[in-house]
Every structure is written in C-alpha cells, then in structure tokens.
Amino acid sequence: MSTIETIQIWGRHIRQHNAKGTHKLYSIAVWRLKDFLPKKAKNITLEHFERFLASLDGLKPNTFNSYLTACKVFGSWLEEHDLPNPTKRLKKKRTLNIARCLTDEEYDKVLAVCNQQERDIVQFLCCSGLRQSEFLSLSATNIDPEGQFLHVIGKNRKPRSVPLNDVCRSIISRHPQMNLSKNETQLRRLCHRLAERAGVKQFTPHTFRHSFATRMLRAGVPISRISKILGHSSILITERIYVHWCQADLQGTTDVLDK
C-alpha cells in the first residue's frame, strides 16, 4: 500500500477516535511528515521520522513535542497494521511546562471590566475547569436534571461528570441552552480583549482551566479528585502540569520538626 493511502486510512481512524482539536493537530503533523516518507509504507524507517523532526528545529519544545506525539501515534497505528513502527526510539524534548493561570488580582481585574455575558463566560470556565472544546459544545442536554453535574465528552471521547457550584448553577439559570460563546475564534478574541482592557498579561481560554485547577489545589482539594474532574487519563499528568504549585504548597511543611 502507498504511504498516501496509508495516511488517508489512518486519518479516518483518528477522526473517529479523537476530539476535533486532537484530530486536527495530528493530521497537520502527519501530512507534513508525508513529504519525508517513502512512497511505500512498508519502507518507512526511523531515519524518515528523524529527518522530519530535524526540519522542525527552532520550534518551542512544547510545539515540537506535539508533532513528535503525532508521529508516535501514527507509528503505533502502523504497528497495529503489521507495518514497521520506528517511532519507539524517538525522544521528546524535556521541558518544564509551567501553566499560565490568572492570579487572584488578575482574576478580579478581568471580572471588573466584563459585561454580564463576558462575566458569565469567565466565571463558568474558572468554576468548571472545562476544556475550550467541551465548553463550546455544551447544550441543555449536558446538564444533570438536578443541576448538580455537567456530563461532558472529553478528550479521546471519554465521558465524565463535572460538579457544579452555585456560581455555575446561577449562570445556567440565565443561559439554560448554554450558548454562551459561538466558536473558538470568538472565545479567543474575547480573552485577548479582556486582557487588554484589564491591563494583564495575555491569556487564552485554557488559562481558565489552569486557574480552576490551581485554585482547587490551594483550597486543599486532593489532586486525585482534581485529576478526575479535569478528565486527565492519569493523575501523573495532573501532577506534571501543576508540579510547581504542589512544590510551593510543600514549602515550610517540615518546619514543625524544628520545634
């Protein structure tokens, strides 16, 4: 089978088994990879992947790792279809991923410049921890009949329940159809405008998710529960993203031994 035919079949597979954003990222990466691959899929080697990754020199580590992850996902699929998978030996770039979150002062400044609709969007995201794609796909059907939970389909089509607090329930009462924002572009532009108006460092919709998790950690909520609410596949992912906050919370803990 030709490499192009193989990529097309793989593309249909990931469209069915991944969220829209993930599918888009993987597709872009592998179609760029195509230019470095041989005509026949059976002839793919480690060298082809290495040449592609070398062409990405200069990208930020996190962006590079996203492309590399796409290569590994493609390689694993090849192996499942009795084709060589040379990607097992590929290594990610080490990077300390410190999540951007709003400080309490920044959060107050942002809310102060919001109109009611904007305020509802900001508070709902900061009080639910939803991903951007999850938030944009919300409708009345996602809301628990008793108003205690949101039932969402997250990354890799994994269902989960997100507990609602009084702030979220109040917002739902004003927007029962949950049509707070139309699309990704509108939501990102809103964040840009709010940052400028509030005079704070630029942020994205995902910043609200990080803010949610950080506030929960500071409030003493066990990281295992936070991981479950966020929809992470493993608590290790949560710890890796928020390790800097975990370490900060530990500071001074052993001082009691001095007494």
Q: Which of 11, 29, 42 is nearest to 90 (CA)?
A: 29
Please state, rounded to an integer, the average pLDDT across all residues of the chain.
Answer: 87
- Separation between Cα atoms, residue 21 and residue 245, nearest integer Å: 27
Give the pLDDT confidence of 35-88 residue by residue, as tens digits.
999 999 999 999 999 899 888 877 777 788 888 999 999 999 999 989 888 898
d(CA 36, CA 11): 18
3-state SS, residue 159? strand
Mean pLDDT score, 196-215: 93
Strand partners, 143: 150
Confidence of residue 17 (pLDDT cuts 50, 70, 90): confident
- Helix H or strand E encompassing 151: strand 149-153
Q: What is the pLDDT of residue 246?
A: 56
Q: pLDDT at position 107, please? A: 96
Among 88-92, 195-199, 203-207, 217-221, the range with the most confident prediction by mean pLDDT is 195-199
Write down the H helix ranges in 38-115.
Answer: 46-54, 61-80, 104-112
Delimit the CATH 1.10.150 region(s) of the chain: 3-89
Stated as kind and residue range, the H or E segment containing 162 is strand 159-163
pTM over 0.75: no
Give the integer Cα–Cα distance in Å for 101 and 74: 32
- CATH 1.10.443.10 positions along the chain are 104-250
Residue-wise pLDDT tens digits, 131-161: 999 999 999 999 998 889 999 998 878 899 9
Q: Where residue 92 falls among pLDDT bands split at 50, 70, 90?
A: confident
Select from 1.10.150, 3.40.50, 2.30.30, 3.30.70 the CATH code of 3-89.
1.10.150
List, in sequence order, every residue forming a beta bridge with 2; answer none if it has no partner. Answer: 40
When pLDDT is cut at 50, 70 and 90, the band that residue 128 belongs to is very high
Better-predicted residue by pLDDT, 97 or 197: 197
* Confidence at residue 208, expressed as pLDDT on a 0 to 100 scale: 95
Looking at 3.60.130.10, 1.10.3720.10, 1.10.443.10, 1.10.1740.10, the CATH number of the domain 104-250 comes to 1.10.443.10
| pLDDT tens figures, 224-249 | 999 999 999 888 888 877 766 655 55
Instruction: Indicate the angle between helix axes 20-33 and 46-54, nearest 10 degrees.
Output: 100
Q: Quick one: pLDDT at residue 64?
A: 85
Q: Is 143 helix (H, G, I), strand (E, B) or coil?
A: strand
